[in-house]
Structure 1
Amino acid sequence: MPLMPGAEPYHHRAGPIGVLLCHGFTGTPQSLRPWAEYLAARGLTVSLPRQPGHGTTWQEMNRTRWEDWYAEVEKAFEDLQGRCAEVFTAGLSLGGCLALRLAEMHGDGVRGVVVVNPSITNDVWLMKLAPLLKWFVPSVPGVANDVKKPGVTELGYSRTPVKAAASLPELWSLVQADLDKLTQPVLVYHSTDDHVVKPASVAIIREKVPQATIEELADSYHVATLDNDADRIFAGSLDFIRTHASVPLQRD
């Protein structure tokens, strides 16, 4: 299946600290590519995989489930573990959910977590109907490209595949149930004006992950990694990694 131009994964080998970046639901690595390149330019080993069903067609994505997306980021995480002394996980939207799940499953194997507008709960009425709708409706309008900054476009599907979406509640439930397992430092960036993910996800993290630091973004919509606050996210995540890594970065 041909890829959308710009949807390619990104990998960069550098120093002993690795960062795994996870893109969001119906999105592509393009939404995190500037973040990945920023970290790579500062001596970090970076992995930004393309999850199955993404970056091709929404019809293909309808043949995948959350287990397929998690398996891909798990594979990338294990590869980083084999190359790096320490690994951090990070992600946007549902990618933030996957980053948190990796930390729950791997414990001390994940040094810290950075998430941007994470999605960890069923907060949209249409999503609540997805398990039923999947038998009658193949897709609904998409959620990609919620960006405030003029002239910037997120590469993602214009339609949301309902069968794929119907698998999300299981993942959300697992992640919520295991949030108390998180002992790692967690940094959360939250757009105050987000048209895709409601505040409920960050509220749950605030309640159940006491060590989490919440940073509000006042000038970005959902895809904040491509928006007006992107530079703040990039620099802040680098400071977070520098603070919590036990080995120095290779170079600036």
Structure 2
Amino acid sequence: MSILPGAEPMRHEGSEIGVLVCHGFTGSPQSVRPWADHLAARGLTVSLPLLPGHGTRWQDLAVTGWQDWYATVDRELRMLRDRCEQVFVFGLSMGGALALRLAARHGDAVSGITVVNPAVTFPKLQGFVLPAIRFLLPSAPGIASDIAKPGVREVGYERVPLHAAYEARNFFRMVRGELPQVTQPLLVLHSRTDHVVSPSDSALVLSSVSSSDVTETVLEDSYHVATLDHDAERIFADSYGFITRLEARKTARDGA
């Protein structure tokens, strides 16, 4: 199956500081590609994988599960660790949940995490009926392109396969249980108005992690896909500043 235009994965060879960028559920690398390009332009090594079942047609996503999505980013993290001295993990929406699980499971192998509108819960009503209804209905209306900026579209699916949604629900539940294991420096950027993921998900992340270095930023002018929205440049600048601050601290510590 051919990849949708703009949904291609991306890899850039740069410095010994690596960044793994994770896109969200039913989305594609296109939704975070400007973010990855910004980091690559500043000389960093960047990996932006295409999650299994994404970037083609929604029926392909229906036959994948969270283990497939997580295995992809886990593999990319290990490859970056072989290449780089430090690795940071960034993510949008479900990509944020993937980033948080990588941090929880890999410990010091992850130097820091930045998440934008992270998804770690599932709507209660939909979550309650999903185990049964997924056998009756193959899909539901899509969640792509929640963007305030006029004329901007996300390359994502117009339908959500309910088997995959059930997988996402189970994944979020697991990630919530692992949040106390996250100890790395954390930057959370979330939109005040988000029609896909409630801002309470970001609050849950902030209250559950064990990180001592935590920064929260509220994005006033963007919806869910903030990396393509009015606040994109702020996300790019703040996340790169997050890396440079931690790198400067590491350099000072190593030189002491």
Once the two structures are overlaid, the 10-residue window that deviates more, 231-240 or 210-219, is: 210-219
For 1:41 and 1:67, the matched residues in 2 are separated by 32
Give the Å deviation of 1:247: 5.4
Amino acid at match of 2:81: Q
Contact 1:152 1:226 in 2 (8 A): yes
Q: Determine which of 206, 217, 220 is the counterpart of 1:218.
A: 220
Aligned counterpart in structure 2 of residue 244 of structure 1, from 238, 246, 250: 246
Tell me how far 1:16 sits from its aligned partner: 0.4
For 1:221, what is the secondary structure of its paired residue?
A: coil
The alpha carbon displacement at 1:165 in A equals 0.7
CA distance in structure 2 between the partners assigned to 1:44 and 1:130 by the alignment = 41
Give the structure 2 partner of residue 12 of structure 1: 12
| 1:11-32 deviation digits (Å, cap 9, x = unpaired) | 0000000000000000000001
DSSP 3-state at the match of 1:137? coil
Report matched runs for 1:182-193 at 5 Å. Answer: 182-193=182-193
Q: Secondary structure at the match of 2:8?
A: coil
Query: How far apart, in 2, do the equivalents of 1:57 and 1:125 lie?
Result: 26
CA positional deviation for 1:172: 1.3
**Partner secondary structure for residue 197 of structure 2:** coil
- Aligned partner of 1:148 in structure 2 is 148
Q: Which moved more, 1:154-163 or 1:167-176?
A: 167-176
1:75 equivalent in structure 2: 75
Q: Secondary structure at the match of 2:152?
A: coil
* Paired position in structure 2 for 1:49: 49
For this pair of structures, how many residues does the alignment match? 248
Secondary structure of the corresponding residue to residue 91 of structure 1:
strand
Q: Under a length normalisation based on structure 1, what TM-score does the superposition of the two structures give?
A: 0.96
Higher mean alpha-carbon deviation, 195-204 vs 233-242, is at: 195-204
Q: Aligned partner of 1:218: which letter?
A: E
Per-residue CA distance 1:116-146 (angstroms, 9 max, x = gap): 0000112353243222111000000000000
Q: Amino acid of the residue matched to residue 34 of structure 2? A: P
C-alpha distance in structure 2 between counterparts of 1:118 and 1:14, whole Å = 27
Matches within 5 A, 1:98-177: 98-123=98-123, 125-177=125-177
Unaligned runs of 5+ in 2: none
| 1:187-221 CA-partner distances (Å, limit 9, x unpaired) | 00010000000122112112112633210000000
Whole-Å separation in 2 of the counterparts to 1:197 and 1:240: 24
TM-score (normalised: structure 2): 0.94
* SS in structure 2 of the partner of residue 5 of structure 1: coil
* Structure with the larger helix share: 2
* Identity across matched positions, percent: 52
* 137 and 5 in structure 1: CA distance in 2 versus 1, 3 angstrom threshold: same
Q: Point out where structure 1 has 5 or more consecutive residues left out of the alignment.
A: none
| Greater CA drift, 41-50 or 122-131 | 122-131
RMSD, aligned α-carbons: 1.3
Structure 1 runs (4+) deviating above 6 angstroms are none
